[in-house]
């Protein structure tokens, strides 16, 4: 998945009106957005369809799917039917649950991103000890897309070493959580940025400043 300017907007707002007002401002600069539970729980999966139709953006649904295989497949199927191009899936639930999402993606001509390790402090408690195992499992399953943290560059490098240069890594944690854009892109292919843009007084200026900092 190619990403314009190596930046994915985390569209973690809670109304379609707010989402589209933001997209009206920044859609010329970015071509990929990540939509999670805040917007979908508030507005339904129709929000994915509306943004897809209005802006033509590539959409990654960040549902961190983590259930039994049968339920995972149902979640993946309905997500892809809504217009999502990709779905983020937890790996700690095991290969059978991940494989069910992968099979759904292949059926619909879509993609999944395997979440290896999250960017917040609490990820060190339970997820971090198994994150490299999750990355290795993804390689065994033939998965090519991964999520790794910009807040722990040493860990992100380890994930890259496991999944290989041919894999595509997207990385959350840049901006408010402290991740550095240019340093993160040494190991990741695209940054996931949310609050630094949508909470900014001038979202376009904030986005442009980040784009400029990457190009320096």
State the first-to-last Cα distance of the chain, in angstroms, to the nearest integer: 24
Catalytic residues: 64
């Amino acid at each position: 998945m190619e990403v314009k300017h190596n930046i994915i907007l985390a569209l973690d707002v809670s109304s379609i009106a707010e989402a589209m007002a933001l997209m009206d401002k920044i859609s010329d600069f970015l071509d990929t957005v990540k939509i999670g539970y805040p917007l979908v729980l508030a507005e339904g999966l129709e929000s994915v369809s509306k943004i897809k139709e209005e802006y033509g953006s590539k959409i990654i649904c960040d549902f961190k799917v983590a259930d039994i295989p049968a339920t995972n497949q149902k979640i993946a199927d309905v997500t892809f039917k809504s217009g999502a191009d990709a779905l983020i899936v937890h790996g700690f639930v095991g290969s059978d649950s991940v494989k069910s999402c992968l099979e759904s993606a292949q059926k619909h001509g879509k993609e999944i991103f395997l979440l290896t390790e999250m960017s917040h402090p609490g990820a060190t408690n339970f997820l971090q000890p198994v994150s490299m195992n999750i990355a290795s499992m993804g390689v065994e399953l033939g998965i090519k897309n991964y999520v790794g943290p910009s807040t722990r560059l040493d860990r992100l490098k380890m994930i890259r070493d496991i999944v290989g240069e041919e894999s595509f890594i997207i990385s959350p944690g840049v901006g408010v959580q402290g991740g550095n854009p240019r340093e993160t892109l040494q190991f990741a292919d695209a940054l996931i940025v949310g609050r630094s843009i949508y909470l900014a007084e001038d979202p376009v200026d904030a986005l442009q400043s980040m784009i400029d900092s990457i190009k320096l």
